[in-house]
Amino acid sequence: MKLTIFAATGGIGRQLLEQAVAAGHDVTAVARNPRNLPATQARVVTADLAAADAAALQTAVGGADAVLSALGPRTRADVGVVARGTRSITEAMGASGVRRVVVVSAAPVGTVPSPGRPHPPRHDPGDGFVIRYLAGPIVKRVLAANYADLAELEDVLRASDLDWTAVRPPRLTSKPVTGRYRTAYGQNIRGGIFVARADVAHYMLRALDQPETYRQTIGIAS
Protein backbone atom coordinates (compact mmCIF):
# COMPACT_ATOMS: atom_id res chain seq x y z
CA MET A 1 0.00 0.00 0.00
CA LYS A 2 0.97 3.65 -0.34
CA LEU A 3 1.23 4.90 3.24
CA THR A 4 1.90 8.32 4.77
CA ILE A 5 3.26 8.22 8.34
CA PHE A 6 3.09 11.35 10.50
CA ALA A 7 5.43 11.78 13.50
CA ALA A 8 7.74 9.16 12.04
CA THR A 9 10.53 10.29 14.42
CA GLY A 10 8.65 9.28 17.59
CA GLY A 11 8.64 6.03 19.53
CA ILE A 12 5.61 4.54 17.79
CA GLY A 13 6.27 6.49 14.59
CA ARG A 14 9.74 4.97 14.10
CA GLN A 15 8.23 1.53 14.57
CA LEU A 16 5.52 2.31 12.03
CA LEU A 17 8.17 3.45 9.57
CA GLU A 18 10.45 0.46 10.11
CA GLN A 19 7.68 -2.14 10.02
CA ALA A 20 5.88 -0.57 7.05
CA VAL A 21 9.05 -0.40 4.94
CA ALA A 22 9.99 -3.96 5.95
CA ALA A 23 6.53 -5.15 4.87
CA GLY A 24 7.12 -3.68 1.42
CA HIS A 25 4.78 -0.70 1.64
CA ASP A 26 5.53 2.44 -0.37
CA VAL A 27 6.06 4.91 2.49
CA THR A 28 6.11 8.69 2.87
CA ALA A 29 7.52 9.72 6.26
CA VAL A 30 6.48 13.12 7.60
CA ALA A 31 8.57 14.82 10.29
CA ARG A 32 9.16 18.35 11.52
CA ASN A 33 12.86 17.51 11.96
CA PRO A 34 13.70 15.02 9.19
CA ARG A 35 17.31 14.86 10.49
CA ASN A 36 15.90 12.84 13.39
CA LEU A 37 14.56 10.13 11.10
CA PRO A 38 16.43 6.85 10.99
CA ALA A 39 18.10 6.00 7.68
CA THR A 40 15.18 5.03 5.45
CA GLN A 41 14.26 4.42 1.85
CA ALA A 42 10.93 6.20 2.45
CA ARG A 43 10.10 9.49 0.75
CA VAL A 44 10.47 12.29 3.31
CA VAL A 45 8.25 15.38 3.72
CA THR A 46 8.90 18.12 6.29
CA ALA A 47 5.89 19.52 8.18
CA ASP A 48 5.46 21.10 11.60
CA LEU A 49 1.97 20.13 12.71
CA ALA A 50 1.76 22.97 15.23
CA ALA A 51 1.33 25.37 12.34
CA ALA A 52 0.87 23.14 9.38
CA ASP A 53 1.19 24.37 5.83
CA ALA A 54 -1.82 22.96 3.94
CA ALA A 55 0.13 22.62 0.68
CA ALA A 56 2.90 20.60 2.38
CA LEU A 57 0.35 18.31 3.98
CA GLN A 58 -1.43 17.74 0.69
CA THR A 59 1.94 16.86 -0.87
CA ALA A 60 2.44 14.38 1.97
CA VAL A 61 -0.95 12.63 1.78
CA GLY A 62 -1.80 13.01 -1.93
CA GLY A 63 -2.11 9.59 -3.58
CA ALA A 64 -1.85 7.65 -0.31
CA ASP A 65 -4.03 4.61 0.31
CA ALA A 66 -3.87 5.34 4.04
CA VAL A 67 -2.43 7.70 6.65
CA LEU A 68 -0.99 6.76 10.04
CA SER A 69 -0.26 9.20 12.83
CA ALA A 70 1.59 8.72 16.10
CA LEU A 71 1.66 12.43 16.84
CA GLY A 72 2.16 13.39 20.47
CA PRO A 73 3.46 16.33 22.50
CA ARG A 74 7.17 16.21 23.36
CA THR A 75 6.79 18.86 26.08
CA ARG A 76 3.99 20.34 28.18
CA ALA A 77 4.07 23.41 25.98
CA ASP A 78 3.29 21.17 22.98
CA VAL A 79 0.04 19.83 24.48
CA GLY A 80 -2.81 20.62 22.09
CA VAL A 81 -0.74 19.66 19.05
CA VAL A 82 -2.48 16.33 18.58
CA ALA A 83 -5.99 17.70 17.99
CA ARG A 84 -4.71 20.70 16.04
CA GLY A 85 -2.29 18.68 13.93
CA THR A 86 -4.80 15.93 13.25
CA ARG A 87 -7.38 18.50 12.14
CA SER A 88 -4.84 19.72 9.57
CA ILE A 89 -4.08 16.15 8.49
CA THR A 90 -7.77 15.30 8.04
CA GLU A 91 -8.36 18.51 6.08
CA ALA A 92 -5.48 17.60 3.77
CA MET A 93 -6.92 14.10 3.41
CA GLY A 94 -10.35 15.53 2.54
CA ALA A 95 -8.80 17.82 -0.07
CA SER A 96 -6.82 14.92 -1.55
CA GLY A 97 -9.59 12.32 -1.48
CA VAL A 98 -7.76 10.03 0.97
CA ARG A 99 -10.16 8.25 3.36
CA ARG A 100 -8.29 5.86 5.66
CA VAL A 101 -6.49 7.07 8.80
CA VAL A 102 -5.24 5.24 11.91
CA VAL A 103 -4.05 7.29 14.91
CA VAL A 104 -2.80 6.87 18.48
CA SER A 105 -5.03 7.99 21.35
CA ALA A 106 -4.80 6.65 24.94
CA ALA A 107 -6.62 4.21 27.24
CA PRO A 108 -8.16 6.78 29.64
CA VAL A 109 -9.74 8.85 26.85
CA GLY A 110 -12.99 6.88 26.68
CA THR A 111 -14.12 8.51 29.94
CA VAL A 112 -12.76 12.01 29.27
CA PRO A 113 -15.34 14.68 28.33
CA SER A 114 -14.71 16.77 25.23
CA PRO A 115 -16.65 19.46 23.36
CA GLY A 116 -17.98 16.83 20.94
CA ARG A 117 -18.68 14.24 23.64
CA PRO A 118 -19.51 16.16 26.83
CA HIS A 119 -21.04 13.18 28.65
CA PRO A 120 -18.82 10.13 28.15
CA PRO A 121 -19.47 6.99 30.22
CA ARG A 122 -18.22 7.33 33.83
CA HIS A 123 -16.29 4.07 33.57
CA ASP A 124 -14.67 2.12 30.77
CA PRO A 125 -16.07 -1.42 30.86
CA GLY A 126 -12.53 -2.79 30.39
CA ASP A 127 -11.13 -1.07 33.48
CA GLY A 128 -10.89 -3.09 36.69
CA PHE A 129 -11.13 -1.77 40.25
CA VAL A 130 -7.57 -0.41 40.49
CA ILE A 131 -7.68 1.56 37.24
CA ARG A 132 -11.27 2.67 37.83
CA TYR A 133 -10.96 3.97 41.37
CA LEU A 134 -7.25 4.26 42.31
CA ALA A 135 -4.63 4.68 39.58
CA GLY A 136 -6.94 6.01 36.84
CA PRO A 137 -8.20 9.14 38.63
CA ILE A 138 -4.65 10.13 39.66
CA VAL A 139 -3.20 9.67 36.18
CA LYS A 140 -6.16 11.49 34.65
CA ARG A 141 -5.61 14.45 36.98
CA VAL A 142 -1.86 14.64 36.30
CA LEU A 143 -2.24 14.29 32.53
CA ALA A 144 -5.59 16.09 32.21
CA ALA A 145 -4.42 18.44 29.45
CA ASN A 146 -2.90 15.57 27.44
CA TYR A 147 -6.10 13.53 27.63
CA ALA A 148 -8.24 16.57 26.77
CA ASP A 149 -6.07 16.98 23.66
CA LEU A 150 -6.57 13.32 22.73
CA ALA A 151 -10.32 13.47 23.45
CA GLU A 152 -10.51 16.41 21.06
CA LEU A 153 -8.47 14.42 18.53
CA GLU A 154 -11.21 11.77 18.67
CA ASP A 155 -13.83 14.55 18.23
CA VAL A 156 -12.03 15.65 15.06
CA LEU A 157 -12.20 12.11 13.69
CA ARG A 158 -15.85 11.55 14.66
CA ALA A 159 -16.83 14.85 13.01
CA SER A 160 -15.10 13.81 9.77
CA ASP A 161 -16.49 11.37 7.21
CA LEU A 162 -13.18 9.51 7.08
CA ASP A 163 -12.60 5.78 7.67
CA TRP A 164 -10.74 6.39 10.95
CA THR A 165 -9.47 4.15 13.73
CA ALA A 166 -8.16 5.50 17.05
CA VAL A 167 -6.02 3.03 18.99
CA ARG A 168 -6.06 3.56 22.77
CA PRO A 169 -2.96 2.07 24.42
CA PRO A 170 -2.25 2.05 28.16
CA ARG A 171 1.34 2.68 29.41
CA LEU A 172 3.79 2.32 26.50
CA THR A 173 7.02 0.34 26.73
CA SER A 174 9.99 0.12 24.38
CA LYS A 175 10.06 -3.68 24.22
CA PRO A 176 10.50 -5.41 20.86
CA VAL A 177 7.59 -6.32 18.64
CA THR A 178 5.81 -9.56 19.55
CA GLY A 179 2.66 -9.45 17.44
CA ARG A 180 0.94 -10.92 20.52
CA TYR A 181 -1.45 -8.49 22.16
CA ARG A 182 -5.13 -8.20 22.97
CA THR A 183 -7.53 -5.73 21.34
CA ALA A 184 -11.16 -4.78 22.01
CA TYR A 185 -13.63 -2.56 20.19
CA GLY A 186 -14.68 0.56 22.10
CA GLN A 187 -13.20 -0.42 25.44
CA ASN A 188 -9.99 -1.04 27.33
CA ILE A 189 -8.45 -4.43 28.06
CA ARG A 190 -9.16 -5.89 31.51
CA GLY A 191 -5.83 -6.13 33.37
CA GLY A 192 -4.01 -4.55 30.42
CA ILE A 193 -1.56 -2.07 31.91
CA PHE A 194 1.25 -2.09 29.33
CA VAL A 195 1.83 -2.50 25.63
CA ALA A 196 4.98 -2.11 23.53
CA ARG A 197 5.17 0.81 21.12
CA ALA A 198 6.31 -1.75 18.53
CA ASP A 199 3.13 -3.79 19.05
CA VAL A 200 0.93 -0.69 18.80
CA ALA A 201 2.59 0.02 15.44
CA HIS A 202 2.12 -3.64 14.44
CA TYR A 203 -1.59 -3.41 15.17
CA MET A 204 -2.03 -0.03 13.42
CA LEU A 205 -0.57 -1.52 10.25
CA ARG A 206 -2.65 -4.67 10.60
CA ALA A 207 -5.87 -2.68 11.05
CA LEU A 208 -5.35 -0.69 7.85
CA ASP A 209 -7.32 -3.03 5.62
CA GLN A 210 -9.85 -4.17 8.23
CA PRO A 211 -13.14 -2.35 7.50
CA GLU A 212 -14.53 -3.59 10.84
CA THR A 213 -12.12 -1.15 12.55
CA TYR A 214 -13.44 1.87 10.62
CA ARG A 215 -14.91 4.62 12.86
CA GLN A 216 -13.90 2.67 15.96
CA THR A 217 -11.79 3.23 19.04
CA ILE A 218 -9.75 0.15 19.88
CA GLY A 219 -8.30 -0.83 23.25
CA ILE A 220 -4.97 -2.64 23.06
CA ALA A 221 -2.68 -4.21 25.67
CA SER A 222 -0.12 -6.96 25.95
Ligand X SMILES: NC(=O)c1ccc[n+]([C@@H]2O[C@H](COP(=O)([O-])OP(=O)(O)OC[C@H]3O[C@@H](n4cnc5c(N)ncnc54)[C@H](OP(=O)(O)O)[C@@H]3O)[C@@H](O)[C@H]2O)c1
Sites of contact with ligand X (CB under 6 A): 7, 9-13, 31-33, 36, 48-50, 70-74, 78, 81, 104, 106, 150, 169, 171-172, 197
Number of helices and strands in the chain (H, E): 7, 10
Distance (Å, whole) CA 82 – CA 152: 8
CB of 183 to ligand X, least distance (A): 15
CB of 160 to ligand X, least distance (A): 19
Produce one character per residue of 19-50: b if its CB has 16 or more CB atoms within 10 Å, e if not: bbbeeebbbbbbbbeeeebeebebeebebebe
Own/partner pairs for 134-140, CB < 8 Å, 24+ apart?
Answer: 136/108, 139/108, 140/108, 140/111, 140/112
Q: Is the dihedral of CA 12, 151, 136, 76 positive or negative?
A: positive
CB of 32 or CB of 202, closer to ligand X? 32
CB of 64 to ligand X, least distance (A): 17
User: E strand or H helix at 172, and its extent?
Assistant: strand 171-173
CB of 110 or CB of 161, closer to ligand X? 110
CB of 169 or CB of 192, closer to ligand X? 169
CB of 149 to ligand X, least distance (A): 8
CB of 102 to ligand X, least distance (A): 13
Distance (Å, whole) CA 151 – CA 184: 18
CB of 157 or CB of 161, closer to ligand X? 157
SS3 state at 4: strand
CB of 48 or CB of 97, closer to ligand X? 48
